[in-house]
Amino acid sequence: MPAEHPRIRTFEEYQDAYQRSVENPEQFWSEIAEPFTWRRKWDTVMQADLVGGHNKWFSGAKLNITENCLDRHLEQRGNKLALIWEPNDPKTRGLRYTYRELYQEVCKFANVLHNNGVEKGDRVCLYMPMIPQLAIATLACARIGAVHSVIFAGFSANAIADRINDAQASVVITSDGLDRGAKQIPVKRVVDEALETCPSVRGVIVVEHVGWPVHMQEGRDVWYHDEVAEVEKTCPAEEMEAEDMLFILYTSGSTGKPKGVVHTQAGYMVWTDYTYRNVFQVNENDVYWCTADIGWVTGHSYLLYGPLLAGATTLMFEGVPTFPSPGRYWEVIDKHGVNVFYSSPTAIRSLMAHDINHVLAYSLDSLRVLGSVGEPINEEAWHWYHTHIGKDRCPIVDTWWQTETAGIMISALAGITPSVPARAGLPLPGVQPVLLNQEGQEVEGNDAEGYLAIKQSWPGIIRTTYGDHERCRQTYFGVYPGYYFTGDGARREENGLYRIMGRVDDVINVSGHRFGTAEIENAINQNSHVVESAVVGYPHDVKGQGIYAFVICQDPVDPAEAPRVEASIIETIVAEIGRIAKPDKIQFVSGLPKTRSGKIMRRILRKVAEGETNNLGDTTTLLDPDIVKEIVEGRK
């Protein structure tokens, strides 16, 4: 029988846990870690290094995270539902897996991976729709100690190839095709194109999902169903060291190509489980639904690992909020009796825009807790969510965290700590946020603003960026040595509640998807018409931020030609990154506002994109001040 994991139930218990986590983190985390299934316990709890970024947790311990997600639940929860799958099309039959069934499917696929030559430490890339096989294959990698690298199935062939080559993945798991709302994507064809430039890949395992004809390359490609038919239903779990890699997940930064954020076995397990239980306060018979795709960190930590570690029932949805109608989320909630619902401000804002009758058609009686993640939730969206979805009875947890933090850092604990519109709230036990000024000094007291940084290690802290630790050190620990630097600005307001103000670097957050402005510029510059470009984010009603691109072409663009050139540039971006990075606005310009040293003054471009053209600030230091006038006049 699994040992009991205690959970915080009152505000006093939160305060007590927080206090203990600050005073003696090692004692605190050793108690939290105790009830998991360990092959061997740790020698040291915490080795913190916020200067060089060499952070370790539970060193010396041996474990397998899937024994904690699956095996240890079998005795008590073998017949309990682990995974409910809701398909894209409501007319298609869904699927349900008990803990025992999921355990068997994971073991079978783990054996398939072995049969296809995958060994402990190998990197496996997954590029798939939101179907049960994605969850199963991800866990199967963890079972045999392979490192999974899931790539959201909206990225282009070039983006996949970059990620596969960076990780030197040997096997790719994919499907014939994908249904997302009314759209279909020929997933396997995208993978085939990517693999033309990926010499490390020896094998491809293909799930038959939509039934499209695909090209199967002899000696490389095999069918999932053929392979699974021939293997045992059990597979011993590989014994992993605490700091062995569990996964790589690529995310954008302010410079260069996306980097592979690395998380490891023990710390990730303890952190996602602890944060999941305490933030969402999920009860034994609850149905929990996180709407994120497994291709993002939210899907990793709070659709897959967190809920399964806690023995919860997790719902996985293949589709989109507006298909076949904008009532789909609410229909799914009623259909499956969802108690805890975790979604994004973008989804909420896009649904708010539709007739309220799409909501009123459903009871939503089962809901008890609502969550939000990915970007700041504005007050209007918060109130709509609270009133119309939560019927004024469900606390909202606005959870602030990042790919690099592995799990929730600042958030209300549902029903326990304060939930105030537009405030993420208080830090979780184990999290010590600070606000830093430009000089890197801590700003004290409430009603203060600064760069959000964290001054103590926590079990989910980023371990490295794959293949390039120096990049990790510089980005997160080199800015203000001794602190983990988040890249966000924040305010500490009444009662110490944190309000997240958004990125302070050149990262933009579009519908909760993260892009570097340089990454989009590099893509645009690949287009043969283009000489130079500058990309900025601007406030967007639904997406949070929109993408505004200022582009200089080889030859002046004739207004009649503009739509064609624009389409060509968009095509290039879709090929380089994927359709999720399409700019909302492209403005052709003859020059960019640059300083005499040649630096683009993005501040001015941001103001233009925001429409704040009366308040551009000092432009006298520009190389060519006249260009500003042209840009303002041509504003889209």
Residues near ligand WT7 (CB under 6 A): 251, 297-298, 373-376, 398-403, 424, 486-488, 500, 502-503, 509, 512, 514
Beta-carbon neighbour count of residue 186 at 10 Å?
A: 17
- Closer to ligand WT7 by Cβ: residue 315 or 412: 412
Q: How far is the CB of 503 from ligand WT7 (least distance, A)?
A: 5
Measured from the CB atom, the residue of 500 and 520 that comes closer to ligand WT7 is 500
- Our CB check for ligand WT7 shows the closer of 513 and 529 to be 513
Q: What are the residues whose beta carbons fall under 8 Å from the beta carbon of 392, sequence distance 6 or more?
A: 386
And the tokens for 339? Answer: 């108690």
- Nearer to ligand WT7 by Cβ, of 167 and 454: the residue is 454
Residue (177 or 512) nearer to ligand WT7, CB:
512
Q: Which of 432, 618, 419, 602 is nearest to 499 (CA)?
A: 419
Nearer to ligand WT7, 203 or 371 (CB): 371
Closest distance to ligand WT7 from the beta carbon of 403 (Å): 3
Q: What is the smallest separation between the CB atom of 385 and ligand WT7, expressed in angstroms?
A: 13
Query: Between 267 and 593, whose beta carbon lies closer to ligand WT7?
Result: 267
Parallel/antiparallel/unpaired status of strands 396-399 and 369-373: parallel
- HSE, side-chain direction, 13 A CA sphere, residue 31: 11
Q: DSSP of 265-285, one letter per residue? A: HHHHHHHHHHHHHHHH---TT
- Look up residue 133 and give its two tokens: 């096989």
To ligand WT7, the closest distance from the beta carbon of 502 in angstroms equals: 6
- Distance in Å, CB of 307 to ligand WT7, minimum: 16
For residue 105 the two structure tokens come to 């499917």
CB count in 10 Å sphere of residue 84: 22
91-115 CB burial, b ≥16 within 10 A, e <16: eeebeebbbbbbbbbbbbbbbbbbe
Nearer to ligand WT7, 424 or 461 (CB): 424
Please choose, from the candidates 360, 380, 310, the residue with its C-alpha nearest in 3D space to the C-alpha of residue 340.
310
DSSP per position, 546-599: EEEEEEEESSPPPTTTHHHHHHHHHHHHHHHTBGGG--SEEEE-S---BBTTS-
CA distance 419 to 397: 7
Element spanning 112, H or E = helix 99-115
Q: What is the 3-state secondary structure (H, E, C) of 214-270?
A: CCCCCCCEEEHHHHHCCCCCCCCCCCEECCCEEEEEEECCCCCCCEEEEEEHHHHHH
The pair of structure tokens assigned to 361 is: 């058609």
- Contact yes or no for 73/323 (Cβ under 8 A): no
Helices (H) and strands (E) counted in the chain, each on its own, are: 21, 30
Q: Smallest distance, Å, CB 506 to ligand WT7? A: 12
**Contact call for residues 514 and 251 (beta carbons, < 8 A):** yes
Residue whose beta carbon is closest to ligand WT7:
403
Q: Based on CB atoms, which residue is closest to ligand WT7, 176 or 488?
A: 488
Least distance CB 260 / ligand WT7 (angstroms): 13
Looking at the Cβ atoms of 505 and 521, the one nearer to ligand WT7 is: 505
- Smallest gap from Cβ 301 to ligand WT7, in A, equals 8
Min dist. Cβ of residue 52 to ligand WT7 (A): 22
- Joined tokens for residue 380: 């209007």
Query: Which class for 484: exposed (0-12), middle (13-18), buried (19 or more C-beta within 10 A)?
Result: buried
The three-state DSSP-derived secondary structure of 170-212 is CEEEEECCEEECCEEECHHHHHHHHHCCCCCCCEEEEECCCCC
Report the residue number, 520 or 552, with the smaller CB distance to ligand WT7: 520
- Cα 387 to Cα 364: distance, rounded to the nearest angstrom: 12
We find the least distance from the C-beta atom of residue 487 to ligand WT7, in angstroms, to be 6
Taking the least distance from each CB to ligand WT7, the nearer of 422 and 616 is: 422
Residue 500: CB minimum distance to ligand WT7, A: 4
- Provide the residue type at 224 as one letter: Y
Nearest to 68 by CA among 254, 422, 307, 420: 307
Closest CA to 401 of 506, 276, 291: 276
Instruction: Indicate the residue among 148 and 259 with the shorter CB distance to ligand WT7.
Output: 259
Residue 189, token pair as written in the block: 């064809």
The smaller minimum CB distance to ligand WT7, of residues 171 and 377, is found at 377
Report d(CA 190, CA 215) in Å as an integer.
Answer: 12
In whole angstroms, the minimum distance from the beta carbon of 255 to ligand WT7 comes to 16
SS3 breakdown of the chain: % helix, strand, coil, rounded to 5?
35, 25, 40
Q: Is the dihedral of CA 518, 460, 234, 144 positive or negative?
A: positive
Check: CB of residue 105 under 8 Å from CB of residue 143: no
CB of 140 to ligand WT7, least distance (A): 24
Residue 99 or 451: which CB sits closer to ligand WT7? 451
Output the smallest distance, CB 343 to ligand WT7, in A.
12
CB 269 to ligand WT7: min, Å: 18
